[in-house]
Amino acid sequence: MSSAPVHSQLGSVRRPIVAANWKMHTTPTEARDLAVKISEAITDAPGVELVICPPAISLYNVRKALDSTIGVGAQNIYWKDAGPFTGEISAAMLVGVCEYAIIGHSERRQHFGETDEAVHLKVRAALTHGLTPIVCVGETLAQREAGQTNDLIAYQVRGALHGISPEELSSVVMAYEPVWAIGTGIAASGDDANAVALRIRSVLESIGGSDAAQAVRIQYGGSVTAANAAEFLSQAEIDGALVGGASLKPLEFAAIVQAAAARIV
């Protein structure tokens, strides 16, 4: 099996990246229409990398409906290329259909038993096939209250990314998503999210060195809205947002993208 080229970010200025995670919402027709509405609502954010992650059944529709300035991502992949894995979709199958893959979302860890080792294998598969992984990490409320956030984050980041070369590492997008903030309407504070992003970057440095760690884009996700987006996107260590509920509303999502564009000076 040959490897696709890695989209190395070594030496690049970190470009803001905002991704929409539609979760299990929208029929294929609705997904196509929503993608078009979002692309029409975002009129002036040329420096922001945009990614739309519809349900798997709509990846192809959404890719066809958008031009190449907007990326499309899967919400999950399987690490084997092909075989007797009923219901799964491999990274290999997605080549030419989308360019990104969310990996290790807490809903997959929680409801589908996804382990750190599975996350690692999926990251490897994504990189092998030239998909940019958006790797999610984050603590539960109980872990936060027990003072375990930093250790848990380090464990998840190492579990996902150990053994990955600096060049590959630089191409990975991290998403810090506290589990207690996802879909609850209770977002982290900008300062707390920035502190965890700093922690993530220091673990990345221990894996792949300073240049790679500095190149990695880190998103915040968890109840991001148009009203609070600037609080996160103005933080030094936060380079973008992973947006669930608010990404189903074109004008609200466009306003979040605008907050990311304000990072570019």
Query: Of all residues in this chain, which one has the CB nearest to ligand PEP in the complex?
Result: 244
Residues 14-53 that bind ligand PEP (CB under 6 A): 21, 23
Q: Which is nearer to ligand PEP, 96 or 185 (CB)?
A: 185
167 is catalytic: no
Q: Distance between CA 207 and CA 192 in Å, rounded?
A: 23
- What SS3 state is found at 57? helix
Segment lying near ligand PEP (by CB under 6 A), choices 146-154, 175-183, 195-203, 209-217? 175-183
Q: Which is nearer to ligand PEP, 124 or 249 (CB)?
A: 249
Strand-pair category, 132-137 with 173-176: parallel
Q: Distance between CA 40 and CA 63 in Å, rounded?
A: 15
Shortest spacing between CB 244 and ligand PEP, in angstroms: 2
Write down the H helix ranges in 113-175: 116-128, 141-145, 149-161, 166-171
Q: Which is nearer to ligand PEP, 212 or 226 (CB)?
A: 226
Binding mask 89-108 for ligand PEP (x = CB under 6 A): --------------------
Binding mask 220-239 for ligand PEP (x = CB under 6 A): -xxxx---------------
CA 172, distance to chain mean position in Å, is: 9
Q: Which is nearer to ligand PEP, 18 or 242 (CB)?
A: 242
Catalytic residue among 49, 114, 139, 177: 177
Phi-psi region at 227: left, alpha or beta (left = phi > 0; alpha = psi -120 to 50): alpha
Member of 49, 99, 177, 239 binding ligand PEP (CB under 6 A): 177
Can you read off the two tokens belonging to residue 155?
């464990």
Which value, to the nearest 10 degrees, does the dihedral of the CA atoms of residues 181, 216, 195, 102 take? 10
Residues 236-265 that bind ligand PEP (CB under 6 A): 242-246
**Residues 159 and 123: beta-carbon distance below 8 Å:** no
Q: Distance between CA 180 and CA 188 in Å, rounded?
A: 9
Confirm or reject binding of residue 138 to ligand PEP (CB under 6 A): no
Nearest by Cα to 24 from 221, 256, 244: 244
**Residues 91 and 79: beta-carbon distance below 8 Å:** yes
**Residues 247 and 33: beta-carbon distance below 8 Å:** no
145 is catalytic: no
Q: Distance between CA 230 and CA 18 in Å, rounded?
A: 13
Segment lying near ligand PEP (by CB under 6 A), choices 55-63, 82-90, 121-129, 216-224? 216-224
Confirm or reject binding of residue 182 to ligand PEP (CB under 6 A): yes
Q: Which is nearer to ligand PEP, 73 or 244 (CB)?
A: 244
Shortest spacing between CB 185 and ligand PEP, in angstroms: 8
Q: Which is nearer to ligand PEP, 208 or 221 (CB)?
A: 221
Q: Which residues bind ligand PEP (CB under 6 A)?
A: 21, 23, 177, 182-183, 221-224, 242-246
Which positions are catalytic?
105, 177
